[in-house]
Amino acid sequence: MTAQPLTWEVVATVGAELGERPVWDANVGCLIWVDINAGLLHRFAPDDGDTIVAGVDGPVGAAAPRARGGYVLATRDGFRLVAADGSAEGPPVVPPGMPASVRFNDGACDPAGRFWAGTTATDGRPGTASLYRLDGDGSVTEVLTAVTESNGLGWSPDAATFYYTDSGEPESRVRAFAFDQRAGTLHDERDLIRFGPGDGVADGLVVDADGCLWIAMWDGGCVRRYSADGELLAAYPVPVSRPTCPGFGGPELDDLYLTTAWEGLPGDLREAEPLAGHLLRSRPDARGQAPNCYAG
């Protein structure tokens, strides 16, 4: 395993308690990301800096651009649609049977324009969360059950494989599923990557144009790159112990953005990590896939 180290720069000094899921919005040439606990959707423009687009009552776990403009959000109480200026478009769409003891966490759009997002238990009980799929017509399907902390998810460039992480499992791993793009269904589950003691916990992930997985390692202080076969290609240290999610952006999709967090850090460790909670950027020798937009 050989790789040149990456140089990380701070592009937004925001101090988010729990930043998550940076996504390039090609509609406006900006990066969107969320501060989960603050319930805020941010938009970073490389030439103009970071602004808050929308705020909701309670946590917001992830967001994605809509094909017609605006955004879809995964919030505490369901899926929400907002316009480009952050104004709400209708009431939240609540998955049937979604328990009150969970909230939405990470999410992303598949190549067919469906928004996938999962929940995490707020009371610590394992196996009470799920992974959901929001179709373009507004219908919701529960895809996976018995989840504890739904987290990283992504698709291979040919859309034949879906990658998924439940960060609440006793042993951190990344699973791979055969993906039926037409039906939006998962099959043939297998373990792709298993992590050992001291590696940290696999958090958010993104798949690049070559089909490699970039995974933020919570409490691991690095971003790891793996081949589609699960081979570790590189481990890139980052200046925080709790990176949360990588994402490619920029006009050529060759900038690698990284959200970070200070949630749960004791005071002395937080003081020792002044960059925790900021939005970071680097320039790896890789490019991202064209971002998918929600069809609804």
180 given a catalytic annotation: no
Catalytic one among 203, 208, 229, 255?
Answer: 203
Dihedral sign from CA coordinates of 132, 121, 278, 198:
negative
For 155-209, give the DSSP string: E-TTS-EEEEEETTSSS-EEEEEEEETTTTEEEEEEEEEE--TTS-EEEEEEEBT
| Pairwise CA distance, residues 76 & 44, whole Å | 23
| Pairwise CA distance, residues 79 & 122, whole Å | 18
With vertex at residue 204, the alpha carbon angle to CA 76 and CA 215, rounded to the nearest 5 degrees, is: 175
Bridge-based pairing state of the strands 129-134 and 150-155: unpaired
Say if CB 116 and CB 129 are below 8 A apart: no
Say if CB 163 and CB 176 are below 8 A apart: yes
Say if CB 124 and CB 144 are below 8 A apart: no
- Which of 175, 180, 250 is CA-nearest to residue 215? 175
Please enumerate in sequence order all residues whose Cβ is within 8 A of that of 92, keeping only pairs 6 or more positions apart, or say none: 75, 77, 78, 79, 80
Q: Hey, which residues are catalytic here?
A: 203
